[in-house]
């Protein structure tokens, strides 16, 4: 699970894997002196989140005064750009952990801020065996869906992940959830469901039954960006996924995302990713 971009290989448990997807899921079974028994060290973190559940043994996260142990039933949440440094605890014979790397939906933000954190990494401890088994089953089901590579596997994985994150946030005793206004949540769902449409603010506001000015202000206040910028961000996230997961021509992907002009789409994409669509597709 290292993040070196200079090497490309297909196993997410080994250095060089390209985590450029909505979701990647797996289990890392580290045994003392085994082939996976090495420290993960990503000083700049990753672009997405990783949620991690220890299922056997013990791991060590960070070094020095910030170091802590994770045991069976402990959950970790690494946000984007957080430092990654973890390995099997020196005193343990093994450290097995289920993990999911993901790019969250925008309306999940309330579930991604855990009150107990060290160096920006959230921590939760599952309080009882039944809850542990329920959460472990979700991790494993998400992994199965991810590996199935069938129609709707990704959509199903993301739905299950949303359930997992909601169950996790309910375990945080100090958390006071800041709910998104239902109208903003509905706006996000509406845009995501019609990502290929260039709806005007007035059209979205009419669907949500709110004035355009109020929608514009409320969306910016709660989401930290404009509606147009948020829609473009979602399009670029989906564009990256489609470029790597399909063989569709670039002009077809552009149209699927609401861009009639392929050149304009390419300029926007390069501004976001630093690469042209064709360069990005070939980089995997």
User: By the 8 A CB rule, do 203 and 186 touch?
Assistant: no
Percent of the chain at pLDDT exceeding 70? 90
Q: What are the structure tokens assigned to 220, written together?
A: 């910016």
Whether the model pTM is above 0.85: no
Q: Tell me, what's the pLDDT at 209?
A: 94
Question: Does residue 175 lie within any of the structural domains?
Answer: no
Q: Where are the alpha helices (DSSP H) in 30-181?
A: 129-148, 153-170
Q: Tell me, what's the pLDDT at 31?
A: 96
Q: Do 29 and 137 reside in the same domain of the chain?
A: yes
Question: Does residue 79 lie within any of the structural domains?
Answer: yes
What single string gives the DSSP state of each residue in 16-45? T----SSEEEEEEEEETTSTT-S-EEETT-
Whole-number Å distance between alpha carbons of 194 and 191: 5
Q: Do 31 and 155 reside in the same domain of the chain?
A: yes
Q: Tell me, what's the pLDDT at 2?
A: 45
Per DSSP, 12 falls in state T
Q: What are the structure tokens assigned to 269, written together?
A: 């994409």
Q: Could you tell me the pLDDT band of residue 7, with boundaries at 50, 70 and 90?
A: very low
Q: Do 194 and 158 reside in the same domain of the chain?
A: no
Three-state secondary structure string covering 190-254? HHHHCCCCCCCHHHHHHHHCCCHHHHHHHHHHHHCCCHHHHHHHHHHHHHHHHHHHCCCCHHHHH
**76-101 pLDDT, tens digit each:** 999 998 999 999 999 999 999 999 99
- Structural domain count, the chain: 2
Q: Do 120 and 162 reside in the same domain of the chain?
A: yes
Burial class (CB within 10 angstroms; exposed 0-12, middle 13-18, buried 19+) of 50: buried
The CATH code of the domain that includes 161 is 2.60.120.280
What is the domain range of residue 73?
Answer: 23-170
Q: Tell me, what's the pLDDT at 178?
A: 52
The phi, psi pair for 98, rounded to 5°, reads -80, 145
**151-175 pLDDT, tens digit each:** 788 889 999 999 999 999 988 876 6
Q: Tell me, what's the pLDDT at 238?
A: 83
Residues forming a β-bridge with 51: 77, 100
Q: Do 148 and 48 reside in the same domain of the chain?
A: yes
The phi, psi pair for 24, rounded to 5°, reads -135, 135
Question: Does residue 12 lie within any of the structural domains?
Answer: no
Residue 4 has pLDDT above 50, yes or no: no
**102-153 pLDDT, tens digit each:** 988 877 877 898 988 999 999 999 988 999 999 999 999 999 998 887 878 8
User: By the 8 A CB rule, do 100 and 136 touch?
Assistant: no
Q: Could you tell me the pLDDT band of residue 6, with boundaries at 50, 70 and 90?
A: very low
């Amino acid at each position: 699970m290292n993040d070196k971009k200079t090497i490309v290989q297909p196993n997410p448990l080994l250095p060089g894997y390209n985590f450029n997807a909505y979701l990647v899921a797996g289990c890392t079974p580290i045994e003392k002196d085994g082939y996976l028994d090495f420290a993960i060290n990503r000083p700049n973190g990753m672009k997405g989140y990783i949620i991690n559940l220890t299922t056997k043994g013990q791991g060590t996260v960070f070094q020095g005064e910030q170091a802590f142990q994770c045991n069976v039933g402990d959950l970790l949440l690494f946000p984007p750009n957080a430092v990654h440094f973890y390995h099997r605890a020196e005193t343990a014979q093994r450290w097995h952990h289920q993990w999911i790397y993901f790019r969250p939906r925008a309306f999940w933000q309330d579930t991604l801020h855990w009150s107990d954190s060290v160096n920006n990494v959230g921590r939760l401890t599952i309080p009882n065996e039944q809850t542990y088994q329920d959460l472990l089953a979700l991790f494993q089901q998400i992994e199965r869906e991810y590996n199935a590579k069938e129609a709707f596997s990704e959509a199903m994985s993301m739905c299950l992940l949303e359930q997992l994150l909601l169950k996790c946030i309910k375990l945080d005793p100090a958390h006071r959830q800041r709910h998104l206004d239902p109208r903003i949540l509905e706006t996000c769902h509406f845009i995501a469901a019609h990502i290929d449409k260039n709806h005007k603010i007035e059209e979205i506001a009419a669907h949500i039954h709110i004035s355009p000015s109020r929608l514009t202000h409320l969306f910016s206040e709660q989401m930290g960006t404009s509606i147009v910028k948020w829609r473009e961000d979602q399009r670029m996230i989906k564009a990256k996924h489609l470029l790597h997961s399909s063989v569709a021509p670039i002009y077809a992907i552009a149209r699927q995302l609401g861009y009639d002009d392929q050149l304009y789409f390419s300029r926007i994409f390069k501004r976001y990713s630093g690469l042209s669509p064709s360069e990005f597709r070939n980089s995997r």
